[in-house]
Structure 1
C-alpha cells in the first residue's frame, strides 16, 4: 500500500488501546502510562518509586488494523549515571499476531542524570521523537507495540495508513506479578524478553507487571493496588529490595508479609497466589544490606554494587536473603493450612548456584539478557505447566 503524508490517520491514545497500565495521566505533551494509580503514588513521594512506576514495563499498545505502516510519537526520558558507560536507548518491540516482527528505538528525549556518589538527580528537557514501522503484512492483524521496560515514555500521537480499532478481550488469563528490578526487567534486552514477559508468552497469559525497580518494599499501597486489580493469577517476589535498602528487621518483616498477603486476599480470596523468594545473589545471601555502589568499579565506567552490612548483625534481626527465604517458607506453610491456593517457589529454582557459575550477575545484583530468558522459561515450566500453581492442579516443584 503506497501512502503519502496526507494518508495518515491519527488515532487518539486511549485506555482501550493500552494493556499493562493501571492509569493514564494526561500531560502537556500527551499521555503518560502509570503502573501505580494516583492514590498510591500520593502516599509516598519517593523519586525512585516515581521513576520505577512510570517506566512502562509490560505496557503495550494493542490494536487491530490493516495498516502496513504505523508511526508513534513519544517523549522518552533517558537515564544517565555520572561516571558510568552510557546506557543504550530503550527498545520498542513490534509484534504482529503475537510474533516479534521488528525492534526500534527513539533517540533524544528528556535526560535524567543520576549521581550515585551524591544521591542527586537533575532533569534536562529534550525533544520528542518518532517511532516508525513500515512494510507490515497486508490484511487484518493484531499489532502490539511494547514500550521500553526501563525508559519513561510519554505517548504523543499514533498514526497509521489504515484505521485502528481496539482488540477484543482474548479470554486469556490475566497474570498480575509484583517484584523488584529483576522482575521489572533490569538488564533484559527488550520489553518482550524480560523474564515475566517471556513467561507470560510461554504460559499463554496476559501480563500486568507491577514490578517496581528498587521499590518492592511491602508497601501497603502496593498491596492495595494488587488487591484492586482484576487478575486470574497473582505472584509476588519478595526480598532483595528489603535487603538492598536495609529497610526493616525480622520483627517488622514477618507481620508486613502477613499484612501484604491479607490485603491481596481481601480482593482475591481464592485466586492462585504464588510467593516467590529471591533468586541467588551471593553478595547478600549471608550479608545484610544496605547495597551501595562499588565506586572502584565506577571509576572504570562500570556500575556495580557491594553489600555494606555486617554478617554478625543477623543476630540482631537484620535481613539477608537466606533469612528471608527461611521466613517465607514458614509463613506460607502456616497460611497454606487455611489457604489451599497459596503456593511458594524458591527463587533459586529460577537462578541458583550453578546458574551463577555459568551466567554471573554483571553488577552483582541484576541478571543479564541470557539469564532473563532462562528465568522466564523456568518460571513458565514451574508455574504454568501441569501440576504448577497456575494450573489449579497442585503445587509445582519447589512449592509448599
Structure 2
C-alpha cells in the first residue's frame, strides 16, 4: 500500500468520496509514499479549491476531519502491513544487519520516502525525502564534500536545486530530509537518481593481510582522523563517491562505503584497491631532536614549513601533515599522508631543511701559536662573527680549535677572514 501509484491514490480518494480533489492530487504527483507523509499544511492546500476568478476557498473543518480520519486509517493499515513484513523477514534482516562485516550491500537500512511537497508562487515543484537515520546511505550525507558534489550534480544534470541540511556526524538518531526543487519531471528524475545511489552502496573492510597489506600498513601507522578526509577527497577528485571510516581511529582497519553499478559516481573495488596501492603513500615519524633548543632560524623555517603544509592541507585536502611533541619529551615527530607525489616532495623538503640546519663541529686546523694570536688580537671580531650568526647558534671556539655551525654555513664561515 505504501508503494501505491498515483492512480491507486486516485482510486482511494474516490472510494472515500473525495472525487473532486482527485485531479489536484494527480497533478501534484501524490503517490502512496507522499500520501503517507502529508502534514496538516499540505492537506489544507490539497483540499482547497479555486474558482474562475482565482479566489481560493479553504476546505471546511468537517471535510478536513473526514479526510484526516481516512488518512489515519490508511496509516494504521500501513503499520500493520509493515509489522507483518518484519515478522516474515526477521531472519533476512539479521543477516543484513551484520552485512558490513560480510562486505554486503546494506540495503535493509535504506528508506527513502516523500514526506511532503510544496508548490510556490513561481510554480516551482518541491519534494522532501527522508533518509532514515540507520541507513548506511546517511554516512555519505554527513560529509560536506559529498553534499557539495551532489548539490552541484543535481543542478547541472537536472536543473534541480538540492538542499541537504548539515548533519551532526555524532548524531545517529535524526533522519535526513532532502529537499528537491524544480520542474516536476526533473524533480522526479532526481529523486530516482538518489534512490539508485542509495541502493547500490557497497562496503569493504581492509583487513585481509594478504590482499590489503599496503592499506593495513597505512591504517596502523598513521594515527589521525585527517587521513579519512584525505582519502575521501582523493576519490572525490576522481569523481568517485566514497565515504571512509576506521574500526578504531588509532590502529583500526579502514572501511570504505562506495557507490557501485553504472552511476556517474560509481567506483569498483578494483579501482579503489589500485588507487590506494599505487597513488597513496605515507611517511611516519621524521624526528627532530631537541626541538626546544634548536637554533632560532631553524625554528622559524620549520614553523613556516609546517604552516605552509597545513594551508595546503586545508586548501587541497590531498595530503595531511601530522606532527606532535609529547610532554616531557624533547623531540618532534612529523608524518605525512596522502598522494604519493605530494608525500615524496614533503619528505624531501623536510629532510633538506633538517640537514641544512644540522649542527656540525668544524675542525679549524690552527696550531697553538695561531690560536694564541687570535685570542690576543681578534676576540672582538670573533665575537661579532658569532653575533652576526646568532640565529644559527654559531660558536667559534678557538681554544678547542673548532667552530660549531649548521651545515649550510660551513663553507661561508671557512671563507671568513678574521685577520
TM-score by length of 1: 0.28
More strand by share: 1
| Higher-RCO chain (CA-CA 8 Å, sequence separation at least 6) | 1
> Which of these two proteins has the greater Rg computed from alpha carbons?
2
TM-score by length of 2: 0.27
